[in-house]
Amino acid sequence: MKKTFVIPNTAVLAGLLLAGSVFAQSVRETARETVPQVQPSLSAGAAPEGASTPSAPRTIGWEQLIPAGWDPYKDLKALNLQSLKDNDPKADEALKKMRQMWDNAPINPLILGQNVRLPGYLVPLEDLPEGLKEFLLVPYFGACVHSPPPPANQIVHVKLDQAVKRFRSMDTVWVTGTLSATKTDSHMGVASYRIDAKLVTPYSEKK
């Protein structure tokens, strides 16, 4: 018989907070490193910054999926986690409130409908003989698998027309395709965005 473990709400809440801190660090690192590395040179005749063409998708970072001014910790800043005991009703209430807020995290409408290129970690949603046709893309290792899901605006549901076989859970990939505000509630997490992928390739820092 498979053993079932009961995890105290305070531990789950701590896990959510840890996931949030990792997500925040990931956003900062993406803003500092990923986007500047891959933006095209104007001297090479590329389109102006922020523009995209059918032959040149716009490379974006995870911070660009978050609308300006949104605070994922808004309802938890007054909560003293150290003072909570296991199965404390306050911990249960805070956990539900935080999960509800994260699962309904707002989107950034300014980037919708664009042909984009986004790096991330792959979380399979299916295991078919022909390969993967849909998966979640997340900004840091372990999200939705080893740690609680990040906010929904930091999860992208990726759909492909043709299945691919060479990728496994937590592989790092580049996803290229059209970004839309299509909410997906899966067993691995809630995604606020979807990319109808034209291309999925192994991650590389090459421009």
Predicted confidence (pLDDT) per residue in 93-107, tens digit: 878 888 999 999 999
Categorize the per-residue pLDDT at 117 as very low, low, confident or very high, splitting at 50, 70 and 90: very high
Q: What is the CA radius of gyration of the chain?
A: 18
d(CA 98, CA 72): 8
Residue of 146, 147, 156, 155 lying closest to 17 (CA atoms): 147
Residue of 150, 135, 137 lying closest to 60 (CA atoms): 137
More confident residue, 165 or 78: 165
Mean pLDDT, residues 26-35: 46
Non-local (6+) Cβ contacts of 36 within 8 A are: none
Note the pLDDT tens digit of each residue in 37-94: 333 222 223 334 455 455 589 999 999 999 999 988 776 666 666 676 767 787 778 7
Place of tokens 């937590």: 170
Q: What is the pLDDT of residue 72?
A: 84
Burial-class residue 164 by CB neighbours within 10 Å (0-12, 13-18, 19+): middle
Q: Which fold has domain 9-202?
A: OB fold (Dihydrolipoamide Acetyltransferase, E2P) (2.40.50)
Q: Which two tokens stand for residue 92?
A: 């249960």
Categorize the per-residue pLDDT at 167 as very low, low, confident or very high, splitting at 50, 70 and 90: very high
Domain positions in the chain are 9-202
Place of tokens 């053993």: 3
Non-local (6+) Cβ contacts of 139 within 8 A are: 23, 26, 27, 30, 62, 120, 121, 150, 154
Q: How many residues does the chain have?
A: 207
| φ, ψ of residue 31 in degrees (nearest 5) | -65, -35
**Is 65 strand, coil or helix?**
helix
Q: What is the residue-averaged pLDDT of the chain?
A: 78
Q: What is the pLDDT of residue 5?
A: 30
For the ranges 36-40, 125-129, 132-136, the one whose mean pLDDT is highest:
132-136
Residue 112 pLDDT > 80: yes
Place of tokens 């701590």: 14
Assess contact for 195 and 177: CB atoms under 8 A: yes
